[in-house]
Structure 1
Amino acid sequence: MNLSPRIRRTRTTRTVVALLSLAALTACGDQSADKAPAAAAAKASAPTTTFTENGVTVTLSVADWQASKGTLTAVFTPEKKGFHLYSTELPPTGIEGVGRPTSVDVTGVLKTDGKLTAAADVRSISVPGVDAPMPVYPDGPVTTTLPVRADGNGDATVLLGYASCSAKEGCTIPVADHPVHLRLTDDGPTFDTH
């Protein structure tokens, strides 16, 4: 079949455009395909568990687990609006017996590898009947992080403590050493679902 030069150029141009479009679509598909498993793996590698006790929901997760080290994150969320949590720096028995610190500790094969920190600024409030100012976080959720490491495989327990209060409604009953169990293996930590 003998085609005119103009028809040959048009067909060639269409073929090139089609191939370039196909290459662009394939490249875009490859990039999103590469990102999707990475995002899924990142989510899968961060075990999480949640519990609610005495007016506060706690979400606990382990992130960045590599070479038997990671970060334990606990988000303390008061169920009612207008409630705050006490500082991690509050003494274990409070000030003049009032308040309890927000605390995260570990036992078993899991050890602390740094200091517990909170992603909230501390402010001082006055509480009737207490002479000293009380260090608290602003009302609402507080995120704490604790660097941890594992001394081998086996069982571990995270112990959580807190108390939430409201200037209008008073305080909830403090929680001390609420246990959350983990199992550490060569694949990393997993929370006990029982």
Structure 2
Amino acid sequence: MNVSQYIRRSRTARVSAALLTSAALAALAACGGRQAGGAHPSAPTTSFTEQGVTVTLTVSDWHASTGTLSAVFTPEREGFHLYSTDLPADGVEGVGRPTAMAVSGAVRADGRLAASAEVRSITVPGVEAPVPVYPDGPVTTTLPVRADGDGEATVLLGYASCSTRDGCTIPVSDHPVHLRVTADGATFSPQ
């Protein structure tokens, strides 16, 4: 199998997994929206793909106008990593862009953005300082949020993916995803 075939099969496997997850969530909703053990209904989810990364957003644990906004950043190609949420906005000596999620409108952050992966440092030719990145592959970030009442809200996402072998994709800055907030919770507006 050559590299192109491997990349296509890897992408197909990730897409298939995402479709199975979506189908499972739809089946769960059709059965009354409850998980085994009487858990709460399935969480609102949406996704988009831009510059070689699929981002899947979920609103969960919504109680009394607070909840958690999660974003899973999944590079489409093997060997690509994302940069740390703590990376400066302009990168390290201009290299990289932070993995970022911010909210505005009827929702505000109620804590700091956290990532599920350990940060490691890499060296980049021509850059003296180490560059903080996550291991290759998907990274999940979570942001506690609080609603300021009913209305519209916007989630702004930013990231860049790179490979030590294949270079970098164009950074994404402030990609908007819209939410509708009511007393019952938050749902994603159609893209």
Band the TM-score falls in, shorter-chain normalisation? 0.7 to 0.9
Contact 1:91 1:100 survives alignment (8 Å): yes
CA change 1:37–1:157 in 2 (3 A) is closer
Instruction: Please tell me the residue identity of whatever aligns with 1:137.
Output: Y
User: Distance between the aligned counterparts of 2:136 and 2:155, measured in 1?
Assistant: 24
The Cα RMSD (Å) is 1.7
Deviations, residues 66-95 of structure 1 (Å, cap 9, x unaligned): 000000000000000000000000000101
Q: Are 1:79 and 2:67 an aligned pair?
A: no
Q: Are 1:88 and 2:85 an aligned pair?
A: yes
Return the TM-score normalized by structure 1: 0.79
Contact 2:34 2:42 survives alignment (8 Å): no
Moved over 6 A (4+): none
Q: Could you say which residue in structure 2 is the equivalent of 1:60?
A: 57
Contact 1:45 1:65 survives alignment (8 Å): no
User: Distance between the aligned counterparts of 1:155 and 1:173, measured in 2?
Assistant: 29
- Give aligned pairs, total: 160
Q: Are 1:139 and 2:136 an aligned pair?
A: yes
Listed as ranges, the gaps of 5+ residues in structure 1 are 1-34
* 1:125-136 mapped onto 2 (5 Å cutoff): 125-136=122-133
Q: Could you say which residue in structure 2 is the equivalent of 1:103?
A: 100
Tell me the secondary structure at the aligned position of residue 39 of structure 1.
Answer: coil
Shift of 1:186: 1.6
Q: Could you say which residue in structure 1 is the equivalent of 2:146?
A: 149
Pick one of 45, 50, 58 that aligns with 1:48: 45
Pick one of 175, 181, 187 that aligns with 1:178: 175
User: Distance between the aligned counterparts of 1:37 and 1:166, measured in 2?
Assistant: 40
Listed as ranges, the gaps of 5+ residues in structure 2 are 1-30
Quick check: which has more Rg, 1 or 2?
Answer: 1
Q: Are 1:169 and 2:166 an aligned pair?
A: yes
Shift of 1:44: 3.8
User: Distance between the aligned counterparts of 1:182 and 1:77, measured in 2?
Assistant: 21
Q: Are 1:117 and 2:114 an aligned pair?
A: yes
User: Distance between the aligned counterparts of 1:144 and 1:71, measured in 2?
Assistant: 10
Return the TM-score normalized by structure 2: 0.80
